[in-house]
Amino acid sequence: MLLQTVRPNIVQSIRAYRVEDLQEAAQAAGQHFLYANLTAAQSKQDVMEAIAESFLFPAHFGKNLDALYDCMTDLVHKSGSQPGFVVVLEQLPDNPRFDREAREQLLDVFRDTADFWAERKVQFRCFYSFQ
């Protein structure tokens, strides 16, 4: 799989893509591959903790949507030029403790992150799936 077949700076369902293929494509393109398996997460707090742990966020990460955006944008941007990103959020919860609104708010952060990187001419692709 080549990343050129996937529009840059997008957040989309993983559907026809396999995680392994996305990881290989990111590696071939020299881009960061960020993966979070959220199978065990049941609430917004669980999702934030799993993402923070998987993406190796700093200990001071606030575990809220604003902090997530800051870690995905400013913190990384200040560390130097970036080659691009392929992000996979696998098995987002689908239950009353993490409902459709909570999922959309989370995905909006990644959409805003994609816009941030697009303005800087850096590719950012985020793929997600639901439980």
Tens-place pLDDT, residues 3-38: 888 899 999 999 989 999 999 999 999 999 999 999
Query: Which value, in Å, is the radius of gyration of the alpha carbons in the chain?
Result: 14
User: CA 40 to CA 131: how far, in whole Å?
Assistant: 10
Can you give the pLDDT at residue 97? 94
Residue 94 scores a pLDDT above 80: yes
Can you give the pLDDT at residue 1? 59
Strand order in the sheet with 32-37: 10-13, 124-130, 85-92, 32-37
Domain range enclosing 110: 3-130
Length of the chain measured in residues:
131
Residue 63 scores a pLDDT above 80: yes
Can you give the pLDDT at residue 67? 96
| Per-residue pLDDT tens digits for 39-60 | 999 999 999 999 999 999 998 8
For the chain, percent of residues with pLDDT exceeding 70: 99
Residue 129 scores a pLDDT above 80: yes
Q: What is the CATH number of the domain that holds 69?
A: 3.30.370.10
Domain count along the chain: 1
User: CA 65 to CA 55: how far, in whole Å?
Assistant: 15
User: CA 89 to CA 80: how far, in whole Å?
Assistant: 24
Can you give the pLDDT at residue 30? 95
- Written as six digits, the tokens of 21 are 């293929």
Q: How confident is the model at residue 102 (pLDDT cuts 50, 70, 90)?
A: very high
92-121: burial string, b at 16+ Cβ within 10 Å, e else? bbeeeebeeebbeebbebbbebbebbeeee
Residue 2 scores a pLDDT above 80: no
More confidently predicted of 70 and 131:
70
Cβ atoms of 90 and 38 within 8 Å: the answer is yes
> Could you tell me if residue 52 is left (phi over 0), alpha (psi between -120 and 50 degrees) or otherwise beta?
alpha
